[in-house]
Amino acid sequence: MQKEGVKELVIHEVGLRDGLQIEARTVPTDQKVSWAEGMIAAGVDIIQLGSFVHPEKVPQMADTDRLFAHFLGTGRKREGVMFSGLVLNEKGLERGFHCGVQMFCMGVSASETHSRKNTGMTTAEAADRIIAMASEVLRAGRRLQVCVQSAFGCGYEGAVPEDRVVGLAERFLAAGIRNLSLADTAGHADPEQVERLFAKLHALGNGFDCACHMHNTYGMGLANCCAAIRAGVRYFESSVAGLGGCPFTKVAGGNICTEDLVHYLQRTGRRRDIDLGRLIETARSLSAFFGREMPGMVYKSGPIPMQSSNS
């Protein structure tokens, strides 16, 4: 039973960040604003506007500060939607505070190889740094989500020990973090593994939410989201049109497609408050901008018509 005022499942749209970060063609700020407006009109819950990284390393994210200024400037606060941003280091955290980020997202890879490629640090060093940054966010009273990346496997190392993932989660919970995400960065997860690993997280105690960030590299992304729902996960990160993937993993595959996920949820009686048509319009606009077909399916086929409850 869904609690009054609490959504059973929360959609966190990450296309403007994780979706665009590997694209060579720079997207103008006004185009990003237009896509974000489509996501807002559709009724997604959280929109990740970008990451606070050095513009020379990820040019696509050079306008992140401007995007937050646009959507969170004086008198521009939007009801019903939260804007998140990814931070990797202390400088990014400082920029995020200055921009008024409503939800900070951070991550530590459970794979030593991926961690070094992504951050230049070992997993333990990265965890120490993230926990210190997370403490600042919590003291400031801002929303926070910390992710264990490569939680289900690594393109470089293969299998990642589940105890290592759980150990990181335990450290984060001990630091007062109450929203934990597991990311299938390499797309290696399978449904049984997803249910098993989230069950281990839930066994750590109560009072925290679980999130998942699945990739569809090997075609199992939506099945893994279904498994996560069965395992009690509430927060789901996805990307419009299925765009994106981590540039620091061996095989970069697209994220779970937002409109495909929403289509599935609506077919099973969930999240019918989201305007799927607006999401499809945004996905088609994105496909037209890049001049190629995107990984998503529903924006191409159209949704299966919903039947009335008395038919």
Q: Which residues are catalytic?
A: 246
Distance of alpha carbon 187 from alpha carbon 155, whole angstroms: 9
Q: What is the CA radius of gyration of the chain?
A: 18
CB 119 within 8 A of CB 126: yes
The structure tokens listed for 291 are: 């001049």
3-state secondary structure 171-213: HHHHCCCCEEEEECCCCCCCHHHHHHHHHHHHCCCCCCEEEEE
Identify whether the C-beta of residue 249 lies closer than 8 Å to the C-beta of residue 9: no
Facing residues of 12 across strands? 46, 237
Angle at 105 between CA 136 and CA 265, to 5 degrees: 140
Give bridge partners of residue 262 from the DSSP assignment.
none
